[in-house]
């Protein structure tokens, strides 16, 4: 085991079980047996590279963990994957909440966009089981190679090195995105099956002292495809590294999105209007071909 541990495997399994319960409690999740078992089973240290590991501090810089003992990674901290680009294995409690709201179940097909080294892909694969499938998409070649190695033993995962804006290419039950964007990619919305969910962080970027481009204003959103339209729900504030590739291109509507965040009210949105006219005065934000509305989906 990387770095060695003062705990044997049985003790580590108990620590992982406690970690699972703690992360769900921090996320405000009363019960989610599948997700709890995933958090308690998948070894986080196996997706972080060789120690010493770096944690992201509240001040935006990185500090080395004081020991290489894997027990230290079982807490609610961000751990570096590519610190020069500001890419991390992010907050387990935040992802516990989002994965719970994703509503994954056995047999689901999931596209994990921005998979990093694969830890959260592995959690999803555990939840959907052998009957399901996880497509893990990562733009960075080195991280995609790490994800391929880390996930190789899982027969229900496919790793793709590519631009997340272009995936998935088939219909899925869930799209789960791990980087900040100023607008959802059409592939994420249009490949959802009826009842399918999209979880992603929407926001406005700013340069970060710690490498990469991070969030000035941001929020997690849950979109669900209904028979008529798309329901939308605010999941709380979210601070992620900004998109690279196609979704990082300069955006003409950045100022309008920044104004919408500064004016507040995103917590009251109820629907995504996709390729439909927006209703003036009833939208939190209006983009090109999409808007977030205070009205229910119709």
Neighbour count for residue 219 (Cβ, 10 Å) = 21
> In what helix (H) or strand (E) does residue 101 lie, and over which residues does it extend?
helix 92-102
**Sequence-distant (≥ 6) Cβ neighbours of residue 2 within 8 angstroms:** 45, 46, 48, 50, 51, 68, 70
The residue among 155, 83, 157 whose CA lies nearest residue 115 is 157
pLDDT attached to residue 2: 43
Q: What is the β-pairing status of strands 109-113 and 133-138?
A: parallel
Contact between 147 and 81 under an 8 Å Cβ cutoff? The reply is: no
**CB 118, CB 146: distance < 8 Å:** yes
| Residue-wise pLDDT tens digits, 92-118 | 999 999 999 999 999 999 999 999 999
Q: At what angle do helices 33-41 and 119-128 cross, to 10 degrees?
A: 130
Average pLDDT, the chain: 94
| Residue ranges of E strands in 181-281 | 192-207, 213-225, 230-237, 271-274
Is residue 215 within 8 Å of 239, Cβ to Cβ? Answer: yes
Give the contacts of 255 (CB within 8 A, at least 6 positions apart).
none
Lowest mean pLDDT, pick from 3-17, 99-113, 203-217, 281-295: 203-217
Strand partners, 136: 112, 159
pLDDT band at 288 (very low <50, low <70, confident <90, very high): very high
pTM: 0.95
Higher-confidence residue: 298 or 268?
268
Q: What angle do CA 216, 239, 87 make, to 5 degrees?
A: 110
Residue 249's CB is within 10 A of a number of other CB atoms, namely 9
The partner residues of 172 in beta bridges, in order of sequence, read 192
Q: Domains, the chain, ranges and CATH? A: 9-293 (3.40.50.150)
- Residue 170 burial (10 A CB sphere; 0-12, 13-18, 19+): exposed
Percentage, residues of the chain above pLDDT 70? 97
Q: What is the average pLDDT across 84-92?
A: 95
Q: 208: pLDDT confidence band, cut at 50, 70 and 90?
A: low
β-pair type (290-293, 283-286): antiparallel
The residues, ordered by sequence, that sit 6+ positions from 177 with a Cβ below 8 Å of its Cβ are 113, 114, 164, 188, 198, 199, 200, 201
DSSP H stretches of helix in 129-226: 141-150, 186-190
pLDDT band at 249 (very low <50, low <70, confident <90, very high): confident
User: What is the model's pLDDT at position 214?
Assistant: 78
């Amino acid at each position: 085991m990387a770095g060695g541990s003062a705990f044997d495997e049985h003790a580590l399994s108990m620590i992982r079980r406690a970690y699972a319960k703690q992360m769900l409690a921090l996320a405000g999740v009363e019960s989610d047996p599948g997700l709890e078992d995933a958090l308690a089973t998948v070894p986080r240290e196996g997706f972080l590279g060789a120690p010493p590991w770096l944690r992201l501090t509240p001040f935006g810089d990185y500090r080395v963990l004081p020991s290489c003992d894997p027990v230290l990674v079982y807490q609610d901290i961000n751990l570096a994957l590519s610190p020069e680009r500001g890419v991390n294995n992010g907050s387990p409690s935040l992802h516990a909440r989002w994965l719970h709201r994703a509503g994954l179940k056995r047999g689901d097909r999931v596209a994990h966009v921005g998979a990093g080294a694969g830890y959260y892909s592995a959690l999803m694969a555990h939840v959907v089981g052998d009957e399901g499938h996880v497509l893990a998409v990562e733009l960075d070649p080195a991280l995609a190679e790490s994800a391929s190695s880390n996930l190789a033993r899982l027969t229900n995962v496919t790793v793709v090195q590519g631009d997340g804006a272009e995936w998935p290419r088939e219909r899925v039950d869930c799209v789960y995105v791990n980087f900040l964007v100023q607008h959802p990619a059409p592939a994420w919305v249009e490949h959802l099956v009826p009842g399918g969910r999209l979880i992603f962080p929407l926001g406005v970027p700013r340069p970060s002292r710690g490498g990469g481009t991070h969030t000035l204003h941001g929020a997690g959103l849950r979109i669900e495809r209904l028979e008529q339209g798309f329901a939308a729900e605010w999941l709380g504030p979210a601070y992620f590294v900004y998109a690279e590739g196609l979704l990082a291109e300069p955006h003409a509507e950045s100022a309008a999105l920044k104004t919408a965040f500064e004016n507040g009210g995103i917590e009251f949105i109820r629907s995504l209007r996709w390729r439909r006219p927006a209703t003036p005065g009833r939208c939190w934000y209006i983009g090109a071909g999409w808007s977030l509305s205070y009205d229910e989906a119709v």
